[in-house]
Amino acid sequence: MCLAIPSKVVRIEDGCGIVDVDGVRRKVNIQLLSDVSVGDYIIVHAGYGLHKIDARTANEALALLRAASSLLNGPHP
């Protein structure tokens, strides 16, 4: 039930975010977030944005995992 999906903000309208998930657009309440801009990815649960994804942190963590796996298995194409 705590399912929440990373969604891209494509528009901000009357204090609400419009997000796009695989082509489907939905209005999202963003009052629990500070500082949301078009282009941000936010995590949406039951119609509310609950977190703005920090792309740098996300990319760094993934890069670390990737680096560890390529040490063992050779570089990825």
Partner 1 sequence: MRFIDEYRASDLSAYLAEQIARISVTPVRIMEVCGSHTVSIFRNGIRALLPDTITLLSGPGCPVCVTAQGEIDAMIGLSEIDDVIIVTFGDMLRVPGTSCSLMQVRSEGRDVRVVYSCEDALSIADANPDRRVVFLGIGFETTAPLIASTILSAKQAGLKNFSVFSAHKRVPEVLAALMAYKDLAIDGLILPGHVSMVIGKRAYWPLYAEYPRPYVIAGFEPVDILNAILLIVGQIEAKAPRLKNAYPRAVSIAGNKRAQEMMASVFQPSDANWRGLGRLAGSGLKIRRHLEAFDAEKIFQMHVSEQCELEGCDCGKVLLGLKTPPECPLYKKVCTPSYPVGPCMVSSEGTCGAYYRYAEK
Dihedral sign of CA atoms 30, 44, 19, 57 in order: positive
13 counts as binding partner 1 under rule CB under 8 A = no
Among 12, 18, 36, 45, binds partner 1 (CB under 8 A): 45
SS3 letters across the chain: CCCCEEEEEEEEECCEEEEEECCEEEEEECCCCCCCCCCCEEEEECCEEEEECCHHHHHHHHHHHHHHHHHHHCCCC
34 scored as a contact of partner 1 (CB under 8 A): yes
In the list 1, 15, 24, 37, the residue contacting partner 1 (rule: CB under 8 A) is: 1
Applying CB under 8 A, does 48 fall inside the site for partner 1? yes
Q: How far apart are CB 69 and partner 1 at their closest, in Å?
A: 4
Report the residue from 10, 38, 61, 67 that binds partner 1 according to the rule CB under 8 A.
Answer: 61
